[in-house]
A and B are shown apart, each in its own frame.
Chain A
């Protein structure tokens, strides 16, 4: 580093920055150019830029300059049964920056029955206080009724949230029924939201958990035994079906197994708008550690869906990521201390779920996918940053090095080799699930909001500088196709004459379930889809104004006894 011209400009207050001699790598192309940044924005890109004097210059020496990573899935400072995850927004975002990630998207987890907006505001407050990098929020819909619907509407319109997660697991807690999922997806499709789904079949899991415990399996291996990957694949399949019925873009969080990934890639081949998010853990390690003799180690791998015990899974997921069948990578970073994990020492169902990964994410993908030749550097930028920005409608502000974009950049050292260990990582957790792994590729310099935060291995992160980045609805990346399909999917009735033949007598005592389970949510009114109302009846409207569903009506032969049952209008 050297200062150009005057030497009296203090390093820390400088918000003008020039990166010289780097190779800019976007998701579409790579080229050699200099980058000039001012006030946290990229102002110029090109050779021989004319820049003001006294600009701090970073010599990239031909190294890759990439858009900062976007970790689309984190759980910092997440409350869990009276405790919180050990990495709060400061610690977590520091770890993110150390790994080359300059933006995180955290999940707002509200307890079922509480207000989503309040939870959102709470998260905003925590993050604004502490985050060292820009952030955005997903909101998890943990229950569904009319007031939640109102809140979701509000969050989309006023709060800058465009992605909402629903759960198909955690029976009797977060889990939603198929009908509720249908309603949520329908609603989100109308408002331009992205439906994220935690895909696991919660009902079967509950049964399997009970079975495991009864068999006397109480350790962390019970976690993976009771949540086999089939259940993940099943739920993914179901979610895709529901999304395709409601014409809603679907985002599957945490793709952990080969079978789930296969379902997504098949669905994409059939044309469904679905995105899959493998996480650092599923791309980097496998579920064999659940059988570790060391309880604390085994427990540190507990997350849901669990890591697959199939050791070929990471390789497979990296392949699908490279081929574009999986779209983005998150970390699902959600760290608990060993003492917190020990809540479930006698019962694996009580172990708090979460693994680390925000810091290792970029390097791990580089090591597993790019250095192995599966993926090129442009794709690398795509899956670590650009695609996430596109899905959240933040593109091209984030996820691209272009004039006008935010100055979140990383100079990537393709040859640096680091060994992951809990001793040196930036997370506060005692265990690192990637312990001992040697990863090639690391950030050399990280620039966040036009400021250097990582340089020469030193982190200069400042708590509280992170801004909330609002996401607007109807991201083109997901919704262009959805909109076009809406116009095609106009259903028409067949214009026919009235059926005027005999009608046999029937009793309407359609044995309704005697059980008390209504199984439907109170918000029963079907959402009328205005886009799909192109219905036209050719003939004159039916003479009698029968309401559409004459529930207890007794229909008999008309007095005239007309028998021409096949008359056409």
Chain B
């Protein structure tokens, strides 16, 4: 965003939101009762996003908020909204007459086709809920964008009108963690981009961020392109991609740079688990963090101690435990907490924002909480599963059911976990909710029928995500509706630099909108789900709250249980690096954290004569470091290079060697404490 601000200065033009109050015409402030919002209060006060959003370089017309301006520019306004409503009541052909308690869709004139192709849409009488406030307002949508938010909007003729009847109108959910193409031993998850995004829409989620999961040795770029191609063909909603870094070497660096600069990726996942496959050593993590920080990317961390897991797995298998219960037994939550702690330490050292994916246990969440209290820039992402169910099912007698819960880190067997995580989510210690939706069929899970370490890891949750947060947090009184919007949508958009294009209902934002019914009750069951998996890990749970109507790019895709999703309509949303939400603090800390050397005279006392260091090399075959991590020059941080040594030193031109032989100077000066 700061880039854009600089742009304004160059163009010698104030941004609209600053210029607005002065340049717009007479803005009659009328109050409609004490608590209703002032007309125009929300117009012309929204940031001019169009220029922020990557990939949309449309003409930036100063958005006029007031009606007068609209008249001036000659917009075809013939009726006031109330008139429009009247006309709509006068039976347009496209009107759907089913009596509904929820939202109704009507058309103000017969010119529009009723099948959701309408370019112009008005949501009337809803309560707009953003992460910061809720207010009653109508929302006018054109060309997939929200054009106006306010009361008594002046809209053109022939717009389709949706009556929200006072229901909540919220920004569509953003699911920050899905794995719809993550193959396991050659098999693909049963929910591909089509199936998965359909499920997302049915649950009120209008954007997903999927993980590109290349195998070690694969090119990240190629994998990214494969994913993008598949998603472009199949996705029904907008999507973006995280790229997982399966190993660390020089090639990866070049590819990362390209991905950030040209491809619009600003988040990368590293693994602390999966020994000998994806796992990185601490040194590699340090390098990866340093590099990604320079690029301005968000580091996602799969936090589990892979070394210990490998040991525990062998131990458990050795004891004859081969069923799914071996999975949580070999991955106790301590190992998750340990890795989270380590990742945060690394993040602090490198001064880089850290994002912990899949917070599954109380101890991991507590570790994040404590670190935030100490000022670390760290984000935690609990997932639907950890928020709604627990790990006791791993001990189910039904193998298929138990296996359906297998994911990493595993669900905690502690039954108080979901409650605890919701509390932390409500108080802001955890920020976003993902689903980590990665559905495998039972026959795929059965690859590990004799060995729990081979069970493909993945659970469902993209469809249930919003509902369970509502049910367990809002309906229980832990969280208010604004925080609900924040954790299901806005925070994700902020962290990944999609805000305010996504994650907010405001003029200029994408028209990804959900009308939410807080009272609808449904029972989760695999029979009725959109996902193709046979098992639903939330089977039988009751869930209050659900979407009544879902709009994507200004089009109705879900309405009263009916899905009109179209394959391939989803667009790839590129993201710029250096998201403010994560990087603003980091920038200031860079400034603050300048290390100062001490200016001293040269030590000129006696020096003990030592043999060159016999640099010991482990005799065991374990090199402990990957071959790539040998001498990568540590990235020179330009922010921290203002070290000054008073005057040149004698030995400035002598390169420093580790086995340097330093002896006493021949003169034998003995003043060991002389100052320079």
Contact = CB atoms under 8 A, between A and B. Distances in A.
Interface of A: 81-83, 111-113, 143-145, 171-173, 175, 177-179, 182-183, 186, 201, 203-204, 206-208, 210-219, 221-222, 225, 228, 230-231, 233-234, 237-238, 241-242, 244-245, 291-298, 337-340, 342-343, 345-347, 350, 491-499, 501-522, 526, 528-529, 532-533, 535, 537, 546, 548-550, 555, 557, 565-566, 568
B406 to A, nearest CB: 13
Interface string B205-234: 000000000011100000000000000000
Interface in B273-331: 275-277, 281-283, 286-287, 305, 307-308, 310-312, 314-323, 325-326, 329
B606 interface: yes
A495 B325 CA distance: 11
A217 B321 contact: no
B345 A219 contact: no
Interface in B310-362: 310-312, 314-323, 325-326, 329, 332, 334-335, 337-338, 341-342, 345-346, 348-349
B332 to A, nearest CB: 7
Given A517-B627, A526-B311, A549-B317, A215 B595 contact: yes
Contacts of B19: none
A506 B332 contact: no
Given A217-B595, A517-B626, A339 B608 contact: yes
B323 A496 contact: yes
A203 B282 contact: yes
Interface in B592-619: 595-603, 605-608, 610-611, 613, 615-619
B321 to A, nearest CB: 4
B673 interface: yes
B605 A214 contact: no
A296 B672 contact: yes
A519 B276 contact: yes
14 contacts: A183-B311, A203-B282, A207-B283, A214-B633, A219-B597, A233-B345, A245-B312, A245-B334, A345-B602, A498-B449, A501-B442, A502-B443, A503-B443, A504-B446
Interface in B641-676: 641, 643, 645, 651, 656, 658, 660, 662, 664, 672-673, 675
B216 A503 contact: no
Given A234-B341, A493-B322, A207 B619 contact: no
Contacts of B34: none
B74 interface: no
Contact of A501 (B400, B619, B673): B400
B662 A178 contact: no
B620 interface: yes
Interface in B426-440: none
Nearest to A183: B311
Contacts of B348: 230
Contact of B334 (A206, A244, A510, A519): A244
Given A204-B345, A508-B185, A535 B321 contact: yes
Contact of B277 (A175, A183, A512, A557): A512
B186 A506 contact: yes
A241 B595 contact: no
Interface stretch (B59-67, B391-399, B507-515): B391-399
With a 10 A CB-CB cut-off, give which of A210, A212, A339 has the most chain B CB atoms.
A339
B668 to A, nearest CB: 12
Interface string B563-594: 00000000000000000000000000000000
Contacts of A295: 600-601, 603, 672-673
A513 B617 contact: no
Contacts of A548: 317-318, 320, 322, 450-451
Contacts of B349: 204, 208, 228, 230-231
Given A228-B349, A548-B320, 6 more contacts: A143-B620, A214-B634, A241-B308, A241-B337, A343-B610, A514-B217
B600 A293 contact: yes
B322 A238 contact: no
Contact of A203 (B283, B334, B601): B283
Interface of B: 184-187, 215-217, 246-247, 275-277, 281-283, 286-287, 305, 307-308, 310-312, 314-323, 325-326, 329, 332, 334-335, 337-338, 341-342, 345-346, 348-349, 395-402, 441-444, 446-447, 449-451, 453, 595-603, 605-608, 610-611, 613, 615-628, 633-634, 636-637, 640-641, 643, 645, 651, 656, 658, 660, 662, 664, 672-673, 675
A515 B628 contact: yes
A528 B311 CA distance: 11
Contacts of B283: 171, 203-204, 206-207
Nearest to A245: B308
Contacts of B641: 215
B627 A515 contact: yes
B449 A503 contact: yes
B662 to A, nearest CB: 6
Contact of A491 (B281, B321, B447, B621): B321
Given A339-B605, A535-B320, A177 B621 contact: no
A201 B616 contact: no
A502 B279 CA distance: 31
A513 B322 contact: no
Contacts of B185: 506-510
Contacts of A516: 623, 627
Given A178-B308, A517-B624, A342 B608 contact: yes
Nearest to B440: A504
B342 to A, nearest CB: 5
A83 B626 CA distance: 33
Contacts of A493: 319-323, 325-326
A212 B594 CA distance: 11
Nearest to A430: B672
Given A177-B622, A526-B311, A219 B600 contact: yes
A83 B610 contact: yes
A204 B346 contact: yes
Given A296-B603, A499-B449, A517-B625, A510 B399 contact: no
Given A81-B611, A219-B600, A494 B402 contact: yes
B175 to A, nearest CB: 26
A225 B623 CA distance: 27
A137 B589 CA distance: 46
Contacts of A492: 321
A491 B319 contact: yes
Nearest to A266: B370
Greatest chain B CB density within 10 A among A214, A228, A496 is at A496
A513 B277 contact: yes
Given A208-B349, A241-B338, A346-B656, A83 B608 contact: yes
B610 A82 contact: yes
Contacts of B310: 179, 520
Contacts of A537: 320
Nearest to A557: B443
Contacts of A222: 597
Contacts of B446: 499, 501-504, 555, 565
A504 B337 contact: no
A503 B447 contact: yes
B540 to A, nearest CB: 15
B673 A238 contact: no
A566 B403 CA distance: 11
B335 A291 contact: no
B616 A520 contact: no
A505 B329 CA distance: 27
Nearest to A237: B341
A172 B312 CA distance: 25
Contacts of A518: 276, 621-623
Which residue, A144, A342, A535, has most C-beta atoms of chain B within 10 A? A342
B619 to A, nearest CB: 5
Nearest to A569: B397
A369 B443 CA distance: 65
